[in-house]
Amino acid sequence: MATATASASLSAFPAGITSSSQCTLETCPLTYAHLTYLPNAAGNGLLLAIFGLLIPAQIYMGIRYRTWGFMAGMFCGLVLEVFGYVGRLKMIDNPFTDKWFAMYIVCLTIAPAFLSAAIYISLARIVAVYTVKLSRFSQRWYGIIFVIWDVVSLLLQAAGGGLATSNDESTLETAKRVMMAGLSTQVISLSIYLGLCIDFAWRIRRLKRTNANSFDNRNLEMTNKQGNTPQQFSSSENLAGNIVLLNPNFAALRASKRWLTFLVLQGLATICIYIRSIFRLAELHGGFRSSLANDQVTFMVLEGAMIVIAALGLSTWGHPGVGFYGKWQVLDYRLFVKKPHTSGV
């Protein structure tokens, strides 16, 4: 961000200082700093401690339940959160230094994208617990679509954050636009994810009602001895034509309170990250020197608290290892499928 305010001229610096990177709290006012406030030590220290403690918890659960992809996303996100708040704490002593601001702005901007990736990984398996027949996409396409969105979002946000320490006003404007593009991509991705979740939940709800009417309210959880893939039965085998049945192998899981809690916490984490992303988008829209970008209380609530709630949920009963009762690997699928080789005759 600006090492001097966009409107300040070099002649406005105290005697002997030509750049705000030369400033200290004793020689320059905060109007020349990256932020117009000093980060609160207690609040930022608390957030750093929470994220730091969740890292070993995620490693333990990831190894125990073999949720490797989820663990990777959470680990990267939490480590970046820790580095981000270290940067903010370092800014208390010197808010004029570029390196601490860069650490803060880059790490805290891109960290939630990794948490989002961890959430996205769960959706394909959640769908399989019910039935893939009602899903808009196959399991592997959920992974491909959202991985691409996340990579694009990460690259844009990281590039914008790297430019944000420039002294040049035009470069700062470019940084703002690039970061906004990255955050917009993340908001779009989360919106699509939420839309797919709501659509699938509505389809399952409608299926249950349809099947209940067809079977005269009898139990629909029929045993399928052929494996995990639900089957459709012909009209001679039921009372109302073809009926898609929920995966019978996970009937007990779906009926458990732990599963419901898992879904609620996954949803809560998604909404918290969504709120945070919209806030950061609005913050950047006003520019790095806007009142919103320099409102510490708003930042601590809509950035810090939102991500803490999401991370805590995903590190407890919202963790797929806990939610799936250790059956995460049973629902594994191949993300990239090799096409069979065919030779010409």
d(CA 269, CA 54): 15
Q: What is the pLDDT of residue 166?
A: 75
CB 217 within 8 A of CB 188: no
d(CA 311, CA 52): 11
d(CA 332, CA 146): 17
CB 4 within 8 A of CB 21: no
Q: What is the pLDDT of residue 16?
A: 67
Residue 295 DSSP class: -
Quickly list H helices, the chain. Answer: 41-65, 68-93, 98-130, 139-163, 169-214, 251-255, 257-285, 296-299, 306-314, 320-323
* Ranges under pLDDT 50 in the chain: 1-11, 215-241, 339-345
Number of alpha carbons in the 13 Å side-chain half-sphere of residue 73: 25
| Predicted model pTM | 0.84
d(CA 47, CA 52): 8
CB 280 within 8 A of CB 185: no
Q: What is the pLDDT of residue 225?
A: 40
Q: What is the pLDDT of residue 216?
A: 44
Q: What is the pLDDT of residues 159-204, one digit of tens each?
A: 998 888 777 788 888 988 999 999 999 999 999 999 999 999 999 9
CB 124 within 8 A of CB 142: yes
Q: What is the pLDDT of residue 212?
A: 62
Three-class SS state of 233: strand
Q: What is the pLDDT of residue 195?
A: 95
Of 73, 335, 131, 90, nearest to 249 (Cα)?
Answer: 131
What is the third-level CATH fold of 36-191+260-331?
Rhopdopsin 7-helix transmembrane proteins (1.20.1070)
Number of alpha carbons in the 13 Å side-chain half-sphere of residue 254: 18
